[in-house]
Structure 1
Amino acid sequence: MATLIQSYEQQYSVLTADITAKIGRLKSGNEDNRDQLTREIQANFEEANDLLEQLELESRGAGAGSRVGAYRAELQRVRDEYRSVLNNSSSYNLESEETYDDWSGANEQRRKLLDNTERLERTGKNLTEGYRVILETEQIGAAVLQDLSGQRETIQRSRGRLRETDEQLNRSSRLMNSMIIRALQDRFILVMVFLVLGVLMCVGLYFSFS
């Protein structure tokens, strides 16, 4: 990433030096091919602006500091010098105004396009982050549902054990009641036997003394 940024900066330096040299040749007024030279300068300005946009994008992507602001200021100074040279020539006054306006409009469109690209990147990042949060929430919800399902099964098993325990307690209670009733019956029978024996003994003693 740093190597690519340095390459853009070197290309920009070479390009601005070439533009400055061509402006010097245009300023001398000795060139016969002024139209061709003017077109080359305009193409160089567009290429330099494209390089600065690429440099700005790479610098932002790398999260590093950028000298794009200084480069743009330098390019604006060279552009003002070029405009001044054109304005000094009466035959190129109208063309210079139109060229500058066209370049300014194109630069503004590039700036808007760059801003829109940044907005789209931010929106894309926000959507990606939102999608990631949704996936995490879905995973957490699935884990909670699975946990609740396990707890439900545990509660159902506990209820089954409680019902079995209650049935066993009921059977034990009925068995205890049956045993108590039998014990009472046995005691009643013993009491009756003792009473009968007592009566028989009394009768026997009565007859024995009489």
Structure 2
Amino acid sequence: MATLIQSYEQQYSVLTADITAKIGRLKTGNEENREQLSREIHANFEEANDLLEQLELESRGAGAGSRVAAYRAELQRVRDEYRSVTTNSNNYNIDSEEVYDEWGGANEQRRKLLDNSERLERAGKSLTEGYRVVLETEQIGAAVLQDLSVQRETIQRSRGRLRETDEQLNRSSRLMNSMIVRALQDRFILVMVFLVIGVLLCAGLYFSVT
């Protein structure tokens, strides 16, 4: 990243030096090559703007400070110098004011594009953060559902044990009732036997006396 930034800075320095040299030639050049020099300078300005945009984007991506503001100020000074040369030239055929306004409009459009790029980048970061929060929420929800599922299984097992215990208690109750009934029956039989024996004894005594 740092190597790429240095490469852009070197290219920008070469371009500004070339523009300055061409402006110097424009001051002393003859009328025949003024238009050609102006077109070349205009193309150099466009290329310099593109380089500064690339440099600014790379600097932002690297998260480091940059000298783009100083470079833009320097480029603006060179433009002012070029504008002064073209304005002071009486026999110049190209409308320098129109060219300068076009550059200004192009710079404003580039600035708006950069601002839009920043907003899109911030929106993208917000979406990424929102997506991360959604994923975390989904993970928490999945963990909660898993805990609820485990608790449900535990409750179901507890209910099953309660049913088994209730069934065992019912069986024990029925068994106890059966044992009580049998004990009552046995007692009734014993009482009946004692009564029969008593009756027989009484009858034997009666017949023996008579």
Q: Decide: shared fold, TM above 0.5.
A: yes
By how many angstroms is 1:119 displaced?
1.9
Identify the residue that residue 141 of structure 1 maps to in structure 2: 141
Q: What TM-score comes out, normalization by structure 2 length?
A: 0.84
| AA partner of residue 173 (structure 1) | S
1:162-190 alpha-carbon deviations (Å, 9 max, x no partner)? 11210110110111122223334434544
Cα separation, 2, equivalents of 1:118 and 1:131:
20
Residues in 2 aligned to 1:9 and 1:147: alpha-carbon distance in whole angstroms: 59
Alignment of 1:44-193 (within 5 A): 44-92=44-92, 95-190=95-190
Contact 1:16 1:48 in 2 (8 A): yes
**For the Cα contact (< 8 Å) 1:87–1:93, is it kept in 2?**
no
Report the CA distance between 1:62 and its aligned residue: 0.7
CA distance, structure 1, for counterparts of residue 45 and residue 33 of structure 2:
19
Pick closer, same or farther for the CA change 1:93–1:32 going to 2, 3 Å.
Answer: closer
SS at match of 1:84: helix
Compute the TM-score of the two structures, normalised by the length of structure 1.
0.84
SS at match of 2:121: helix
Rounded to whole Å, the distance in 1 between the matches of 2:91 and 2:172 is: 122
Q: Distance in 2 between matches of 1:91 and 1:191?
A: 152
Computed over aligned residues only, the root mean square deviation of the Cα atoms, in angstroms, reads 2.8
Which stretch shows the higher mean deviation, 35-44 or 47-56?
A: 35-44
- Indicate the SS of the match to 1:64: coil
Instruction: Map 1:189-200 onto structure 2 (within 5 A).
Output: 189-190=189-190
In percent, how many aligned pairs have the same letter?
A: 88
Q: Which moved more, 1:144-153 or 1:19-28?
A: 144-153
Number of equivalences: 210
Partner of 1:90: helix, strand, or coil? coil
SS at match of 1:91: coil
Instruction: Give, in whole Å, the separation in 2 of the partners of 1:195 and 1:16.
Output: 139
SS in 2 for 1:92: coil
Look up the match of 1:40. Answer: 40
Does 2:4 align with 1:7?
Answer: no
